[in-house]
Chains A and B, each alone.
Chain A
Amino acid sequence: MDKALLEIRGLKVGFPTPDGLVRASDTVDLDIYPHETLGLIGETGSGKTVLSMAILRLLQPNTIIKGEIRYRGRDLLSLPEDEMRKVRGREIGVVLQNSGTSLNPVYTVGDQIAEAITLHQGLKRSSAWHRAVELLDAVRIPDPVRMARGYPHQFSGGMQERVLIAMALACNPSFLIADEPTKGLDAVTKREIIDLFREVNRDRSVLFITHDIEAARNLATRVAVIYAGEIIELGNSGVVLSEPAHPYTRGLLESLPERGMRPIPGSAPSLITPPSGCRFSPRCRCAAEDCKSEHPGLVEVGPGHYARCMLYDRG
């Protein structure tokens, strides 16, 4: 396999709060290879967004971050801020959650896309505007010349999502982070956005964060399942989403309406005092005695398929 474009090693992210340290990411190791789409799946509060914000270094200053995030061999965590600014947007593009609030309501859509281009590529305003129109066309916004002069409120949810994608692609980054881009969209619009991503993803590496399992199945080459800040399963998306090894992933699939709608009992654990042993053990149907005391490692259960579960980690 090629050398990884992005290597995350032993990443720990903690937020100090009056109640204690919230361990939002705990010893995450992850590689993203050139031209692959990695789907990151997990429930609300499992640490998906924190991981992407850590890569971009957009977390609050008092956040405790340990480990390494290497992009093309450079450790992003030790980069000076002015160097980091050149990475964001130019090398690593991002489509943030909630398209509505990510756009500035008082600037035209064209201006907002052109801003990134003038900043990073030093183009003049007129040529940046021209490029913005091209990008709107590329994300299939009808009548892009006219729509570039429109304001965000004149765009529907799906169209705003397209604008954000255009913005993220403005400087043709080799790595793209997309955080729940299909959230809140209806079935038809969601399918259109997924189709668009399929095209966008061809030329770059993508970290696709979602809790929509169907979207992950459609787009991702590999998926990582995250639970309580830890990666608990990682592998080929076809394998993980059809024959999952970890009981949590299995539970997630079974709770889908089309798969019988059997919910996982209980609720997500506290990240301040996570359960001892396996973090999923209090909710797990397969939990044995040692699951409550031993913390399982990520074990290879098939070619390129890893799971963090005592089922596979007993000597």
Chain B
Amino acid sequence: MIEVSNIRTSFTTGFIRPRVVQAVDGVSFQIEEDETLGLVGESGCGKTTLGRSILRLIEPDEGHVVINGTDVTALSRNELRQFRPRMQMIFQDAYASLNPRMRVRESIAEPLKIHRMGDRAAIDRRVLELIEEVGLNKEHLNRRPYELSGGQNQRVVLARILALKPEFIVADEPTSALDVSVQAQILNLIRDLGREYHMSCLYISHDLGVIRAVSNRVAVMLEGRIVEIGKTADVLDRPCHPYTRQLIAAPATEPIENTPLVKTPKMVEERPDHLVEETV
């Protein structure tokens, strides 16, 4: 189980007059094994910062992340490196995630080598298994990223991640750059492999259709905070927070500024396991 409690992350911008931006402002939630939590919100709301903070790709200022009993936020740098294979991230731009000079074979073998998962022959065998699991074949092993399509590159990224058999993955808009038909292929793949490998997943997207398709539960983020969280059907079909309603609603709704936010917000349980931040 993944337990995230009270994560806060801020950035300081400006040189002469420093200004602090509170990108993530006290976020808590849990993700069960085999569960996918969808995280929605508009650009700039802090979704990506939250995802990165949980994996300590950005150091959070405060809060704890406990992954299956290990407090990740308390690990030393060395311990963190040892722990990395257990938590992984998928990024939006697969092409940029891969080393352009490496062939697919080397790219997939790299994490296995770094984390010393078997001798050469075992690694070769595993690479062959993985390439087929993600729906590519042996011929692709000798290609480089520029010789593959966006969807194929995202498959290679998935193979690299699966190589490590992580317990938790953060997927940050992994399909937003892909066409709908390719997106459907990749989403199905992520869903099937997630089940097979018993992973917990935090799935970040601003596409509500995608979120509905992949998530068991959904969290809605606004200005660094989670304003609503619950089962997918509850949040998306019976939204309670005005912002969620606006996110889901049909065209031409009121601008966000009209929704006043409470200074010290509390979460209210609207129905079982469906929490909504209080509004004025």
Chain B residues with CB under 8 A of A252: 180-181
Residues from chain A with a CB closer than 8 A to the CB of B210 are 257
A255 contacts B180, C-beta separation under 8 Å: yes
* Of B20-28, B98-106, B201-209, the one touching chain A: B201-209
Q: Is B59 an interface residue (CB 8 A)?
A: no
Contact among A188, A189, A195, A211 with B179 in the assembled complex (CB-CB below 8 Å): A211
Report the separation of the CA atoms of residues A184 and B43 in the bound assembly, to the nearest whole angstrom.
Answer: 9
Q: How far is the CA of A149 from the CA of B279 in the complex (A)?
A: 37
Bound-complex Cα distance A43 to B214 (A): 22
Instruction: Report whether A257 and B251 are in contact in the complex, using a CB–CB cutoff of 8 Å.
Output: no
| Known A-B contacts A188-B42, A267-B182; A218 and B251 likewise in contact (beta carbons under 8 Å) | yes
- Cross-chain contact of A261 among B40, B41, B44, B188 (Cβ < 8 A): B188
A187 within 8 A of B: yes
Over the window 39-64 of chain A, the binary record of Cβ atoms lying under 8 Å from chain B Cβ atoms (1 yes, 0 no) is 00001100000000000000000000
Chain B residues whose C-beta falls within 8 Å of the C-beta of A213 in the assembled complex: 180
Contact B212 A258 (CB under 8 A): yes
Residue from B43, B44, B180, B256 in contact with A211 in the complex, judged by beta carbons closer than 8 Å? B180
Q: Per-residue CB proximity of A192-212 to B under 8 Å, as 1/0?
A: 001100000000000000010
**Central interface residue in A194, A251, A264, by most chain B CB within 10 Å:** A264
Q: Are B44 and A257 in contact (CB under 8 A)?
A: no
Please report the C-alpha to C-alpha distance between residue A267 and residue B184 in the assembled complex, in whole angstroms. 12
Closest B residue by C-beta to A214: B209
B-facing mask of A158-188, CB < 8 A → 1, else 0?
A: 0000000000000000000000000011111
Interface residues of A in 257-288 (CB under 8 A from B): 257-258, 261-264, 267-268
Nearest B residue to A184, CB-CB: B176
Q: Chain A contacts of B150 at CB under 8 A?
A: 44
- B238 CB to closest chain A CB (Å) equals 17
Contacts of A235 in B (CB 8 A): none
CB-based nearest A residue for B249: A191
In the complex, which residues of chain A have a beta carbon less than 8 angstroms from the beta carbon of B149? 267-268
A152: Cβ under 8 A from any B Cβ? no
A239 located at the interface, meaning its Cβ lies under 8 Å from any Cβ of chain B in the complex: no
- When distances are taken between beta carbons in the complex, the residues of chain B under 8 Å from A268 are 149
Contact with A along B127-170 (1 / 0, CB 8 A): 00000000000000000000001111000000000000000000
Within 8 Å of chain A (Cβ to Cβ): is B219? no
Expressed in whole angstroms, the Cα–Cα distance for A213 and B214 within the complex equals: 20
Q: Mark B206-230, 1 if CB is under 8 A from A, else 0.
A: 1111101110000000000000000
Distance, CA A188 to CA B221, complexed state (A): 13
The answer for the CA separation of A257 and B213 in the assembled complex, in Å, is 6
Partner of A156, one of B40, B44, B188: B44
Whether B246 sits at the interface, judged by CB under 8 Å, is yes
Q: Which of A237-263 contact B (CB under 8 A)?
A: 251-252, 255-258, 261-263
**How many residues from A make CB contacts under 8 Å with B?**
28
In the complex, how many residue pairs between chain A and chain B have their CB atoms under 8 Å apart? Answer: 76
Give min CB distance, B209 to chain A, whole Å: 4
Instruction: Convert B172-185 into 0s and 1s, putting 1 for each residue whose CB lies closer than 8 angstroms to a CB of A.
Output: 00001001111111
Report A265 CB to chain B, min CB distance, Å. 9
Which of B40, B151, B152, B179 is most buried by chain A, counting CB atoms within 10 A of its CB?
A: B179
B151: chain A residues within 8 A (beta carbon): 267
Cβ contact of A43, chosen from B40, B42, B44, B181, cutoff 8 A: B181
Bound-state CA distance A310–B183 (Å) is: 28
Bound complex: CA A263 to CA B182 (Å)? 7
A257 and B209 within 8 A (CB): yes
* Most chain B beta carbons < 10 A, residue from A184, A255, A256, A261: A261
Known A-B contacts A44-B150, A263-B181, A267-B151; the reply to A258 vs B247 at CB < 8 A is no
Residues of A within 8 A of B188 (CB): 261, 263
Q: Across the interface, which residues of B come within 8 angstroms of A186, CB to CB?
A: 41-43, 206
CA A258 – CA B187 in complex, angstroms?
A: 13
Other A-B contacts than A43-B179, A211-B180, 19 sampled, CB-CB below 8 A, are A43-B180, A43-B182, A156-B43, A157-B43, A184-B176, A186-B43, A186-B206, A187-B40, A188-B42, A189-B42, A189-B43, A191-B253, A213-B180, A252-B181, A257-B183, A257-B212, A264-B184, A267-B149, A268-B149
The 7 closest A-B pairs by CB, nearest first: A257-B213, A263-B184, A255-B184, A257-B209, A186-B206, A186-B42, A263-B185
The residues of A with any CB-CB pair to B shorter than 8 Å are: 43-44, 156-157, 184-189, 191, 194-195, 211, 213, 218, 251-252, 255-258, 261-264, 267-268
